[in-house]
Amino acid sequence: MRAAVFPRPQECETVEREVPVPAEHQALVRVHVCGVCGTDAHIYRGEFPARFPVIAGHEFAGVVEKVGTGVSSLRPGDRVAVDPNIHCGSCRPCRRGLTHLCRNLSAIGVTQDGGFATHCVVPARQCHRVPDDMPYEVAAMAEPVACCVHGIDRAGIRSGDVVLLLGAGTIGLVLLQLVRLQGAAVTIVSEPNAGKRDLAERLGATTAVDPVSEDFEQAVKAATGGTRPDVVIECVGSAATAQQAFDLVGEGGRVLLFGVAPEEVQITISPYRVYREEIAITGSFTNPFAQSRALALLASGRLRVNDLISHRLPLADVSRGIELLESGTATKVVIETQERG
């Protein structure tokens, strides 16, 4: 098999390796498409606790080639999307039903080899079957979409709400569509990149505003008819946007911090305001029990992800994919792991 390996931070090599053999309860997946995620960029830069050397990539879909003993849920030839997050099942959070907050969490593409390869061995139970007519690049979006589905579970949007989204990267644009499906009356997107603002409006945003070159708060006010948003979803992960989310939310409102801010970042929150205006601040971590719902949405055609894929690259270009993502110009970069033609 061929794989893009990070031997250590800041390095990526395409190597030949033996195709792994699936052990008991495992499946060997021939990977077709693997998305490049901000987490892959953080791993590559050495800013994320990963196991080195590692084959990164945790957003992938492909076809089952072989199964180990004891696997009854899958057969060779099944097309699957992989849920990369593996919980232990016996720690306290797991026992309380919070499997995504497992104290012994491991993840395919982080602590074990992932999808930037022609093949990957995974626990069979991490595989979700996908319909025959769903393209692999759509199925590969199941993982980030599932994270967004969990985010929507946490956001508590009610029909008729005014929702502000900060950031229109892939995640912001998926969340925007889910917010609309949830029944929001007004969706405002704040995004400095003009191309992404256009895309947000094409995907149904009421308006997309530039936080840099306009009087941003006036523009938000104009869009909401003078009120403050009921829900603000932060999908950037910076101190400035996290602060903005708290400052802009209205009475009885809810702030969802979805973007991954650096650990040391702090913002200022008035406890009085939280009390007097009943502001709720919540987070959203990974994709618990959301992968099959994400696949159902993708299969329904009610969620559009094709328009979000801006670059399709071969396996040899994983590090270029990461650079494109970091440049802020790409939306979704996907790696097509099999040779073309």
Is 42 among the residues known to form the active site? yes
Q: Does 322 bind Zn ion (CB under 5 A)?
A: no
Stretch that binds Zn ion, among 31-39, 176-184, 188-196, 293-301 (CB under 5 A): 31-39
37/295 with CB nearer Zn ion? 37
Q: Shortest approach of Zn ion to residue 147 CB, angstroms?
A: 7
Residue 117 and residue 2 in contact, taking contact as beta carbons nearer than 8 Å: yes
Q: Is 241 a catalytic residue?
A: no
Count of chain residues binding Zn ion (CB under 5 A): 8
How far is Cα of residue 249 from the mean position of the Cα atoms in its chain?
Answer: 24
Interface region with Zn ion, contact rule CB under 5 A, candidates 83-91, 193-201, 235-243, 312-320: 83-91
- Only segment of 64-72, 103-111, 150-158, 182-190 that touches Zn ion (CB under 5 A): 103-111
- Binding of residue 91 to Zn ion (CB under 5 A): yes
DSSP line for 47-97 = -S---SSB----EEEEEEEEE-TT--S--TT-EEEE--EE--S-SHHHHTT
Other C-beta atoms lying within 10 Å of the C-beta of residue 18: 7
Q: Decide: is 82 part of the binding site for Zn ion (CB under 5 A).
A: no
Position among 3, 5, 28, 37 found at the interface with Zn ion (CB under 5 A): 37
Pairing of strands 26-36, 119-123: antiparallel
Choosing from 25, 32, 42, 286, the catalytic residue is 42
Q: Tokens standing for 334?
A: 């996907």
**Contact indicator for 124, 67 with CB cutoff of 8 Å:** yes
Q: Are 14 and 23 in contact (CB under 8 A)?
A: no
Taking CB under 5 A as the rule, does residue 296 contact Zn ion?
no
Query: With binding defined as CB under 5 A, does residue 223 bind Zn ion?
Result: no
Q: How far apart are CA 64 and CA 168, in angstroms?
A: 34
Is 34 an interacting residue with respect to Zn ion (CB under 5 A)? no
Catalytic residue among 39, 99, 241, 286: 39
Q: How far is the CB of 95 from Zn ion (least distance, A)?
A: 8
Select from 98-106, 169-177, 210-218, 247-255 the region that touches Zn ion (CB under 5 A).
98-106
C-alpha angle with apex 252: 247 to 258, nearest 5 degrees?
55
Strands 254-257 and 280-283: parallel
Which stretches of the chain bind Zn ion, using CB under 5 A? Answer: 37, 39, 87-88, 91, 94, 102, 104
Residues tagged active-site? 39, 42
